[in-house]
Structure 1
Amino acid sequence: MRKIIILFVLAIVTTVSAQAQMQTPRFGIRAGANYSGFSGDNADNLDRMFGFHAGITSQFMLSSDDFFAIQPELLFSTKGAESKDDNTKWKISYIDVPVLARINAGPLYFEGGPQASFRVGGDIEVGGNNIVDDLDMFKRTSFGYAAGVGLASTPLGLSLGVRYNGDFTKLYEEDNVSDARNSVFMLTLGYTFSGR
């Protein structure tokens, strides 16, 4: 866990220190669909469920030809899983803060890096009825990674991509309950405002 935190802090420090040496940062917005579930030994009997994400993005270009960039983001993201019979649903909301390295190879881009997630809400439903509002059984903060690929149109400022993010941190506060972790596939649409 300590190595993950150090890696995350290092990525943020690199972004901030490099900011003074690069072009004007570009800012944008991002939104899309989540297809989330739990991974781990105790999650085999659960199905994935749909959710969404939305938030703001920024890009700090580290090369004059815009080939390499650091891309911090702040996203509201709904995650969770459901039982095979759809009777029980775990719905958990997070603020995700990925700090991604991005390679722009023409219209194609590749991204990857560490991510911190902060639980901000959620509930557990059984038969369509909310049975648990207090989700203190789940950790408030988790660390993981994100990686993706997509297509971007620089003149229009639009991008369409797929991304996977997974947690290193276990979902439950008590270690003896389960080793389940969040596992999310994302289809994401972004718009970057012109930085020039």
Structure 2
Amino acid sequence: MKTKALLIALSTTVFALGAKAQDKTTFGVRAGVNFTNLNGKESNGDKLDNKLKAGFNVGVNAEIPLVPDFYVQPGLLFSTKGSKDKQGDGKLNLSYLEVPINLLYKPTLGAGKMLLGFGPYVGFGIGGKYKSGDEKIDVKFKNDVKPSDVSLTDPKIFLKSLDFGGNLLVGYEMSNNFSFQLNAQLGMTNLNPKSNGVKPKDKAKNTGFGISVGYRF
């Protein structure tokens, strides 16, 4: 509920600012590659031992001016995340729709502008699958797994659908409106769901970094 309230408050602020600066708001597209992992610990306290997995992101954003050189940048992204097993060829692929809302600083630097930003994001899981050799297991998003959800003949990996965390970005926008940036994400939500109402002892959080290119209209 706290996450939903924060998202509503942030969205309301963005829309209010947008109404005031509608004629100066610009829009852009962005796409790039992600390198993500699931970090956390097992129920016995041991750290998760995974490797980075490559994925991608693509989406749109807006830049709403606040004061000179400062902007609010809300966006909508489709992003693939997950991790690879330390041993073997096992790979967990996760797909999210994300809503990042960054505070962006764009001072003039040479013929273009530097990009420095940070802010929260909210992600909504929309699909996933674990693959290892010929084995394929679907990911099902649930906040509380009941005994009736578990099947020995049709096994599933259960994760929470809602992800929340923080963004950091640094980049450069050229005079022709093309840009490139490095970004990092730190997930703050334990993706492991409750089991019949009981909170899990193990933890898994999305983390990662990426490189992307964009164009501002």
Secondary structure, aligned partner of 2:32: strand
**Structure-to-structure mapping, 1:156-167, within 5 angstroms:** 156-167=176-187
Partner of 2:146: none
Alignment deviations for residues 106-152 of structure 1 (CA, whole Å, 9 cap, x no partner): 22111111110000111011225323354541111121111111111
Partner of 2:14: 15
Secondary structure, aligned partner of 1:132: strand
**Unaligned stretches of 5+ residues in structure 1:** none
Does residue 189 of the first structure (1) align with residue 213 of the second (2)? Answer: yes
Q: Which runs of 4+ in 1 moved over 2 A?
A: 4-11, 41-44, 131-136
Q: Distance in 2 between matches of 1:8 and 1:19?
A: 16
Partner of 2:168: 147
Q: Distance in 1 between matches of 2:139 and 2:187?
A: 23
Structure 2 counterpart of 1:47, from 47, 51, 54: 51
Measured after TM superposition, the shift of residue 21 of structure 1 is: 2.0
**Unaligned stretches of 5+ residues in structure 2:** 143-157
Partner of 1:24: 24
Which shifted more, 40-49 or 178-187? 40-49
Q: Which amino acid aligns with 1:113?
A: G
Q: Distance in 2 between matches of 1:188 and 1:10?
A: 28
Does residue 118 of the first structure (1) align with residue 138 of the second (2)? Answer: no
The answer to whether the 8 Å contact 1:123/1:135 transfers is no
Secondary structure, aligned partner of 1:57: strand
Q: Distance in 2 between matches of 1:83 and 1:110?
A: 33
- What TM-score, normalized to structure 1? 0.89
* Bigger Cα Rg: 2
Q: Distance in 1 between matches of 2:134 and 2:80?
A: 17
Which shifted more, 122-131 or 91-100? 122-131
- What TM-score, normalized to structure 2? 0.80
The answer to whether the 8 Å contact 1:171/1:181 transfers is yes
Q: Distance in 2 between matches of 1:83 and 1:121?
A: 19
Give the share of equivalent positions with the same residue, in percent: 28
The answer to whether the 8 Å contact 1:87/1:128 transfers is no
Q: Which amino acid aligns with 1:156?
A: N
The answer to whether the 8 Å contact 1:8/1:114 transfers is no
The answer to whether the 8 Å contact 2:125/2:141 transfers is no
Q: Distance in 1 between matches of 2:66 and 2:32?
A: 27
Cα RMSD after superposing both structures = 1.8
Q: Distance in 2 between matches of 1:183 and 1:128?
A: 27
Q: Distance in 1 between matches of 2:88 and 2:74?
A: 35
